[in-house]
Structure 1
Amino acid sequence: MGLIWNCRGLNNTLSPTIPKIRALLGSKFYDFLFLIETKCSTSQIFPMFRTLGFVKNFGVDAVEASGGLWVGWRNESKMKLVKACNNFVILLVEKYNGRLWYLVLSYGAPCLSMRASVLMEMEKWFDTCNFPFLIVGDFNQVDFSCDKLSSSQRPIDGAEEFNLWKIRNELVDIPYKGPRFTWCNNLKGDKRVYEQLDKSMGSKEWFSLFPDTGIKHYPI
C-alpha cells in the first residue's frame, strides 16, 4: 500500500501539507510515499519523513521552484530503484509469494508539447521490462470529457494520443473509490475547472496477479 500526494509546494517545514501527510501516514501502514511537485530539493524532504520509517529514498530536485519528485520507502518493503528521470521513477518490488514486479511512479509533463515524449520514453521501457508493472501518478492529462468539469466545451487536447498510448501498450485501468476529480485550478465562477489528472493502470499480467486492487481518491 502506498500514499501518493501532489504537493504543489513543499518548500518549507511550515507548509500546511506536511501535517496532512503525516496524519494519513499515521492512520495506516504504507510501504512507500511518493510526492509530486515538491518545488524544493530532495535534501529538504528526506528529514521530514525519515522519522516515520521512510529510510530509503530517491528524488529529483525542482528546477527554479517548479516540479520536483520524491519517493521514500521502508527497509521491509523490499524495493529497489531501477530507473528515474524528471517525469517518472521506477522501482522493482518483491511482494507477497516472492513475486517481482515494477512500480512506475509518474508525473506527466505539464506542457502539452512535451507530454508525448514522456509517454514515448516510458513506452520504450515497457518493451524491455521483464516483469508485470503498475503505473500510478499524476499524468497531467484528462482521458475523456466526463473527467473534466468546466464552462468550456473545447475538445480535450492530448486525450486521443493518451488513449492510443494506453491501448497500444494494453494497459488496464485500476478502479478507484472517492471523488472523480483530483485537481482544481481554484479560480472563481466560470473560470473554475475540475479535472481527473491522477490515475493508475497496470499491465495485463500485473492485473492478473492482483485483480482485487483498488485506488482511493482523497478529497482535493
Structure 2
Amino acid sequence: MSSLLFWNCRGVRKKEAALYLKEVVRDQDIFFVGPMETNMTGIDRKDVDGLTGKDWQYFHFPVVGLSGGILVLWNKKVVTFVVKETSSQIIVGGLFIPNLGLWKVVTVYGRRCCKERESLWSQLGSCMENYIPSIICGDFNCVLNKEEKRGGKRFLFSKGPRDMKCFMMNFDFNYVGNIGPRFTWCNNKEGASQIWERLDRCILNSATLQKLPVAVTRHLARVASDHIPIAFKIDEKVCPKSKTIKFEDTSRSYPAAKSIVYHSWKKNDFGDEVMILQRKISRTLKALFFWSRNKCKDLNMLKEELKKEILAL
C-alpha cells in the first residue's frame, strides 16, 4: 500500500529530521512528500538526493521571514505532479497516479494568526473543483474543538476554527479517521506547562471518499520535531519494488562481511574481463544481501519495538 506523507519537520536540513524522513519514506512506501517549515531560502538537487533519492522531483516555496517554507517531493518513476498555485501557506498541484487518475493535492502550512489565515481559505476556495478528488493536508495551526486540545488555555470556538469549519462545509471537505496518537503537536514541556494539540490533519472532498471509501490517515511517531508525520494511505499499491540490489554501508561494520566478499570474489570465472567483473559483482552483492537480511532481522525487530515504545510514550 502506497502513501502520501505530510510533516512539519521544523527544519529539513536537520540531520535527525533528514534521517527520519528517509526511513519513513522507505517503511511506509511513500511516493509523495510534503514537508513544511523547511526554514530554507533555497534547496538544490544535492539536498533532495540526501532526503529521498535521485528518482525524486521537487518544488520549494522559500521561507518568508524567520520561519516557514514548504517543500513538495514526488517519485517521478511512480507519479507525475504539476504545481498549479503557490503561496507561503500552500502548494497546490495535480498528481497523476497510474490506475487512479488525476488528484488535486494541497500541502498546507497555515499561519498562526487567524487573521493571516483568511487568505489561506480564500486561496483554497478559488482552486477547488468538486469533481476532482482532492486531498488537503498539513499543519493548519488550528484546533477545531476542545477534544483536540489538552493543557494550556481553555479552547474557544473563535474566528480561527469558525473559518476552517466554514471552508470545509462550503466546499464539501470531510475529516477522516486516523490510526495512532490523537494529538499531532506538543510543546515539549513537562507537568502543568505541557500542551498537546491537533494542529495537523488531512481533509478530503466527497470525490476522494467515493474513490477511497475506507480512507484512513496514520499518525506516525513524533521524532526530530514537535509535530508528527501524517501518512495518507492509498488502497492500491502504485510503487513498483526495485529489483536492484545495493551495497549497504552498514555491512562494513561487520567483520563477517569482509569474509563474504573475499570468498565470493575469489571464485574462478571464465570469459572476457567485462563479463567476469559483472558476474563477480553480482555474486558478491547477492551473497551480502542474503547474509544482511538474516543478520539484520534482529535489528529490524528491535527498531520496530523502539517505535512502539515511542508511540506509547
| Kept after mapping to 1: 8 A contact 2:90/2:109 | yes
Aligned to 1:71: 72
Aligned to 1:31: 31
Following superposition, the deviation at residue 148 of structure 1 comes to 0.5
1:165 aligned to which of 142, 147, 167? 167
SS in structure 1 at match of 2:67: coil
User: How many equivalent pairs are there?
Assistant: 216
Aligned to 1:147: 148
| Kept after mapping to 2: 8 A contact 1:40/1:65 | no
Aligned to 1:15: 15
CA RMSD of aligned residues (A): 2.0
Structure number having the greater helix percentage: 2
| Kept after mapping to 2: 8 A contact 1:42/1:70 | no
Following superposition, the deviation at residue 154 of structure 1 comes to 4.4
SS in structure 1 at match of 2:108: strand
1:70-219 equivalences under 5 Å are: 70-75=71-76, 76-97=78-99, 99-126=101-128, 131-157=132-158, 158-219=160-221
State the Cα deviation string for residues 176-199 of structure 1 (Å, max 9, x = none): 110010001123332221100111
Distance in 1 of aligned mates of 2:113 and 2:49: 31
Following superposition, the deviation at residue 81 of structure 1 comes to 1.7
Q: Mind listing any 5+ residue stretches in structure 1 that lack a counterpart?
A: none
Code of the aligned partner of 2:154: Q
Distance in 2 of aligned mates of 1:73 and 1:154: 37
SS in structure 2 at match of 1:113: coil
Structure number having the greater strand percentage: 1
| Kept after mapping to 1: 8 A contact 2:22/2:52 | no
After TM superposition, the score normalised by the length of structure 2 is 0.64
- Label 1:47 to 1:96 Cα distance change in 2 as closer, same or farther (>3 A): closer
Distance in 1 of aligned mates of 2:28 and 2:172: 32
Distance in 2 of aligned mates of 1:171 and 1:50: 30
- Label 1:139 to 1:100 Cα distance change in 2 as closer, same or farther (>3 A): same
- Label 1:102 to 1:123 Cα distance change in 2 as closer, same or farther (>3 A): same
- Identity percentage of aligned residues: 23
Whichever of the two has the greater Rg, that structure is 2
Q: Which structure ranks higher in relative contact order (CA pairs < 8 Å, sequence separation ≥ 6)?
A: 2
Following superposition, the deviation at residue 161 of structure 1 comes to 2.2
After TM superposition, the score normalised by the length of structure 1 is 0.89
Distance in 2 of aligned mates of 1:117 and 1:80: 22
SS in structure 1 at match of 2:6: strand
- Label 1:102 to 1:190 Cα distance change in 2 as closer, same or farther (>3 A): same
